[in-house]
Structure formats: structure tokens, C-alpha cells
Amino acid sequence: MINEIKRLESLARTLDMDADERTILLEQVTAYSQRFLDDIPGEPTYSSNDSREIYESPLTEEGINIDQALTLLKNNVDRSGINTTSGRFLGCIPGGGLFPSALGDYLAAVSNRYAGHVFASPGAVQIENMLLQWMASAVGYPETALGNLTSGGSTANLLAIVAARDAYGVEGAKLDRSVVYFTEHVHHSVDKALHMAGLSRCIRHEVAVDDNYRMDAKKLEMAIVSDQMAGLKPWLIVASAGTTNTGSVDPLPEIASIAAAHDLWFHADGAYGAFFVLCPEGRTALGGLVSSDSLVLDPHKTLFLPYGSGAVLVKDGSKLYASQNWEAAYMQDIPDNLEEVSPADLSFELTKHFRGLRLWLPLKLYGLAPLRAALSEKIHLARYFHDRIRQTNGFEAGPAPDLSIVTYRYRPPRGDVDEFNLRLVKAIQEEGRVFVSSTRVNGRIILRAAIVSFRTHLDEIEETLDALKRNARHLIEKDH
Ligand SMILES: *Cc1c(COP(=O)(O)O)cnc(C)c1O
């Protein structure tokens, strides 16, 4: 038996690398990362390359060396699909990925602190709670607010909706009569969250939008009143604090008063937009956020973090706690600490990555000022882009941007407008220098530029405008 244990031990011990082995890995990974970051300005924003080498290199009993692993990454991962680290990438909602965040992840993984419970790592929990308190105070939430760092906005929306469900006791026979209000521009993760929360039987009332794609508050109130008269139970309003599609901010102050007057839970989905409260222009656009009952923010969008960071806040934190705090025999040695609430009591996630560090490190190293400036800059760039599009022959601009997403489209002299715009966006994406995307609003194809990355500055915007004009001209010439 001892011999067998020793034999196994000698192989198992290779898992625990010594300093020299670690140095080799660190040097190679550092060199690779430096090259990756230095090369960003020249790299395409999109590559259709779909190599199958990952499948052709299966997991085997013996490992490969770091060079080989990095080559696989470089050829198969880093150079295929969309490149969201590029400042010329204006599709989806790209954050860019602040470098110190990568180091935060690294440190969190090295020390492997258990950030779920205050007993396990008081410091890690303090970091998480301090970040959430900072977010809460940035939107003006009182000290009663509690929250959680999540993997992203979808998880955060789910936690908020479940807390709202539990606070209002929406279950059983009530389900079929309970009504949820949002607009057609609500993020699909809200619909998914309702589904996952067992709320599919609730009635969804889609409220009309105005010309700026914002929820029409009058129509919201009318809908609530008529639903009440029909014997239904209006329960939840999900407002978008910046829609993904067009960046529009629903009229939050009006929605807040309507929610208060009719006793509805007011959830604000600010996965894209909420962090703009950190700059003056955004703070103006987002007035009323403070009156929401719960809020979602995505640091991996508008705090420029790499993917894997969302956050939920619930103004009356006891409602989130009541909804997520659970007991289990194998956790009985962990004492309750009501001074410092544990993340695991505010989420369905128990063991999770020490997420706080990837946010805390960049905020501490940079300070807040450059982040505020970058957010202001994005809003100004969006306004500038919108002005320039309006003045460019052949293009028509959508409404003035509320935050940093601009919608527009090209009007060709003849032919199908939707089809032309789809071809235009495809031509630009295939060219690979800049990346803009299309969407459908009111049944029409429109183009959008999401100006979010911390690497997007005036030069990248000028290049995007040039690419739009150049490609539109080419297509028109081809059609002749
Ligand atoms: C991105 C987004 C979400 C979903 O967030 P993930 O982080 O992608 O899960 C939800 N709502 C809005 C408004 C978003 O922009």
C-alpha cells in the first residue's frame, strides 16, 4: 500500500510546480501577452478563420509544453472570430479588457481565497462588499442596499428578478395574473430570467416606445391601470438604463413614480448603461436610477473589464438576503456574521472565483479619474459620430444618442434599403479594419456603433466613418 501511495505521489507531485518551472511558464506567458497587447492596433477586428486544430489536439496522458499550448491559442483562439480587444471593434458591447484586471484574476487564482463566505476569507469578502457599496453609493442607493458580483448581467438580472418574485410572493395561482412590463428593447436575458425563475406563466406586457426608443411612460401607466381594472396584478417593471440595441434610456424618474404609485417592483437593467453615472453627462441621462428597487451593472461592459463581471444591487438588501440565504449541515461550522454579509448568502452561487480582485486592482491602481474621463469620452465620441453621420451624404442618423450607442443607416439612391445596409455591414466586417453591426428596429435594418471600449478614441471613430463612406461608395458603384 505504501509503495503504491509513493508511486502515485511522485506523479501527483508534478502538479505542484517549483520556482524554476513557474518562471519558465511566467516568462513565456508574459512575452505572449505583451506581444498580443502590442499587436492590437494592427490586428483585424474580425477573422472568419475557423481552424479545427483544437479538436485535432486532444487531451492526452502526457502534457505538452507551454510553447505548443500558446501556439494553439494563437492560431485557433486569438486569431479567429471577433476581436473585442480592438478599439476599432464597435459591435456588441465591447469593454476591451483592462490589463490590471488580468493580473487581478491571476492573483485571485494563485491565492485561491474562498470569497463566498466572510469566515473563509474576511479580506476577500470585504473587497467584494466594498466594491458593491461603492457602486451603490455611485447611483445614490442608501446603506440598506446589498448586492453581489456575478458572472455577468444575465446572472445579475436573474438574481434581481428572483428577489422581486420572492418579495411579492409571486407563485402558485398568482402567477397567471401577475404582470411584468417592459419594452420590445428589453434585453433577452430578462425574458430568460423570467423563464428560469419559474415565471413563464406571468403576463408580459410590452409597453410602446417613443421616437427615441424609450418606454412611453404614459402608456405604461395606462397599461397598469387597465390591467388592474381587468383584475390582474401588475407586479414588476423592467426598465432599461441603456438598451443594448440603441443605447436608449427609459424615462426612469417617471417610471419610478408610476411604480411607487401602483406598488410595483422597479428593476433597472443597467448592464450596459448604469456605470455612466460615474461621469456628469451620464449622470444627467440616468437621473431616476436611484429610485429603482434593484439594478444590474456590468463591469465587463462599461467599466472596461474583461468578460466575467456583472453586478446586482437590491436597494432593500434584506430582500436579496431573504431570497438567497440558505442553510446546510456541512456549513454549520461557519458562523453567521450579520455585520459583514457573505456573498454566498446573496446569490445562488456558492463557490466562485474571487471576482472582486479583477475589479478592485484596476480601480485602485488607476484611481477613478481616468475611468470617469473614459466614460465621458465615449459619450462625446458618440455625439460626434452622430453629428458626422448626419452631415454625411447618403447616411441618415437615428435619434441623438442617450449614452454611447449610435444608430444610423445608409439610404441608397435605389434598391432595397435593408438589403443594402446588410451588405454594407458585411463588407465592412469582412474588410476587418473596423467592426460595426446591424440590428432590426420597427421591422427595419439599422446599423449601430457601440462606442464602449477604453481603446476607442477619436482616431478609431474617424477610421470608422471613413470605412462606412468608402464601403457605401463601393457598393453603389458595384450596383451600377
Ligand atoms: C449585455 C446586457 C445584458 C446581459 O449581460 P451579460 O453580461 O451579457 O450576461 C443584460 N442587459 C443589457 C441591457 C445588456 O446590455
Verify whether ligand 1 is closer than 6 Å to residue 302 (CB atom).
Answer: no
Verify whether ligand 1 is closer than 6 Å to residue 345 (CB atom).
Answer: no
Per-residue model confidence as pLDDT tens digits over 36-71: 999 999 999 998 877 789 999 999 999 999 999 999
Per-residue model confidence as pLDDT tens digits over 274-330: 999 999 999 999 999 999 999 999 999 999 999 999 999 999 999 999 999 988 777
All 3 cell numbers of residue 169? Answer: 410572493
Average pLDDT of every residue of the chain = 96
Residue 435 dihedral angles phi and psi, to the nearest 5°: -130, 115
Ligand 1 atom at minimal distance to the Cα of residue 154 = 9
Q: Does domain 105-366 have CATH number 3.40.50.920?
A: no
Residue 88 has pLDDT above 80, yes or no: yes
What's the average model confidence in pLDDT over 215-240? 98
- Structural domain boundaries of the chain? 105-366, 369-479
Residues 6+ apart with CB under 8 A from 22: none
Q: What is the pTM of this model?
A: 0.96
Per-residue model confidence as pLDDT tens digits over 104-154: 999 999 999 999 999 999 999 999 999 999 999 999 999 999 999 999 999
CA dist 460 and 404 (Å) reads 14
Find the 154 Cα to ligand 1 centroid distance in Å.
Answer: 6
Q: With contact defined as beta carbons under 8 Å apart, do 303 and 326 qualify? A: no
Per-residue model confidence as pLDDT tens digits over 178-219: 999 999 999 999 999 999 999 999 999 999 999 999 999 999
CA distances from 140 to 136, 263, 290, 369, 394 (A): 6, 21, 5, 19, 44
Verify whether ligand 1 is closer than 6 Å to residue 250 (CB atom).
Answer: no
Q: Which fold has domain 369-479?
A: Aspartate Aminotransferase, domain 1 (3.90.1150)
- Ligand 1, atom 6, lies closest to the CA of 153
pLDDT score recorded for residue 234: 98
Verify whether ligand 1 is closer than 6 Å to residue 154 (CB atom).
Answer: yes
- Ligand 1, atom 5, lies closest to the CA of 153
Amino acid letter, residue 144:
T
Verify whether ligand 1 is closer than 6 Å to residue 93 (CB atom).
Answer: yes
What's the average model confidence in pLDDT over 240-257? 97
pLDDT band at 338 (very low <50, low <70, confident <90, very high): low
Verify whether ligand 1 is closer than 6 Å to residue 189 (CB atom).
Answer: yes
Candidates 341, 472, 450, 469; CA nearest to 404 is 450
Find the 269 Cα to ligand 1 centroid distance in Å.
Answer: 8
